[in-house]
Amino acid sequence: MAHRSVNTLVFAGFDPTTAATVISLMGDDGLPGDLRITAGLNQEPWQTARTGLLIIGMDPKTDLVRVSQLIQNRTTYWDVAVCIPAVLSYYSVALLAQGAAKVLTHPEEDLEATKKELRSLLRTLSSIQSDAFGLEVSDLIQLYGEKRMPKTIRLTGAGCVGSIYLHNGSVVHAETMDDEEGMDAFRHLISLSNPEIRVHKGCLTDKKTIGIPAMSALLEGSRQVDEIQRESRLDNDMESFDDGNGVTSDFSSMDGVPKFYTTPIPISDRSQQPPPMAEPPRRNSPLPPPQTNKVDPLKNLFSDEDLDLH
């Protein structure tokens, strides 16, 4: 199952007439635009298309090893379903355990049942939102890293589709459909807001562009995300700065730090500036000179006789 519309639908291992009949019964309802019919199982359609669904038709003569290889070798953007007859029904559990999206009724036994099951599968592939409800991608990376479980985490959100690959406790590779790889892709994917999540069994890549422990990758990716966001905020603040003759300040600030920016005064408006402050008026008469003859304030309180203590 996947988190994107199925762009390619391939029927392999069927009689061409049988496959064409199934397509005809399906009509245009839910079918992708790219439809293919191949007689054998030699081709791997993900070599020529990045997303799609491969339907394999089995019979008692089908090479089970090759079917298993196709299921396990599929790329992260492909799914594989298998149509089996009743005599091979005991293979159903093994096929699902290996990663088959679904086991369908073989059209040569029940054409109508095959049509209904295939239509339901296509609808599910296009509408499913998550294989990990309630979990953040960082939780999954930490969990699979601690358990040293090989996993492929596919993420879809904000127009981005990509995968993070874990093996032996480390994040070994990350990629997006926009051809980002390594830490750039990893940083982009862990910063997606409320992405759709799908977890594949196994590390479905041979590339190694990261190769560091899961927790270290999370810490480094988070640090890079914070740094980019901080630089983006600074760039937005700098846009308010401009060279000019007038300067104003805006004390509405982030984190309690005032922001200052220049506001040039248009030349046409400078004539309307207030005139310079006038000097205070001068007094017409000078201040009286200071007194030089000081008067003793105690002189008139006592007579000479009072002061004559002898």
Q: Does the residue 32 lie in any domain?
A: yes
Residues 161 and 87 in one domain: no
Residues 120 and 181 in one domain: no
Q: Does the residue 276 lie in any domain?
A: no
Residues 117 and 177 in one domain: no
pLDDT value, residue 211: 94
Residues 90 and 24 in one domain: yes
What residues contact 269, with CB distance under 8 A and at least 6 apart? none
**Residue 80: phi, psi to the nearest 5?**
-130, 130
Residues 12 and 95 in one domain: yes
Supply the range of the domain harboring residue 179.
Answer: 137-235
What residue ranges in 23-148 does DSSP mark as E strands? 34-38, 52-57, 78-84, 102-105
pLDDT value, residue 100: 84
Q: Does the residue 310 lie in any domain?
A: no
Q: Does the residue 113 lie in any domain?
A: yes
pLDDT value, residue 126: 66
pLDDT value, residue 280: 59
CATH no. for residue 27?
Answer: 3.40.50.2300
Which one of 80, 109, 127 terminates a domain?
127
pLDDT value, residue 174: 94
pLDDT value, residue 18: 92
Q: What are 187's two structure tokens?
A: 């940083």
Residues 192 and 111 in one domain: no
Regions of the chain short of the pLDDT cut 70: 1-5, 28-30, 126-135, 237, 239-310
Residues 90 and 158 in one domain: no
Kind and range of the H or E element at 94? Answer: helix 92-98
Pairing status of strand 8-12 against strand 34-38: parallel
Domain count, the chain: 2
Direct distance between the N- and C-terminal alpha carbons of the chain, in angstroms, rounded to an integer: 126
Radius of gyration of the chain, Cα coordinates, nearest whole angstrom: 40
Which one of 181, 203, 235 terminates a domain?
235
- The CA distance from 52 to 75, in Å, is 10
Q: Does the residue 15 lie in any domain?
A: yes
Residues 110 and 150 in one domain: no
Q: Does the residue 99 lie in any domain?
A: yes
pLDDT value, residue 246: 46
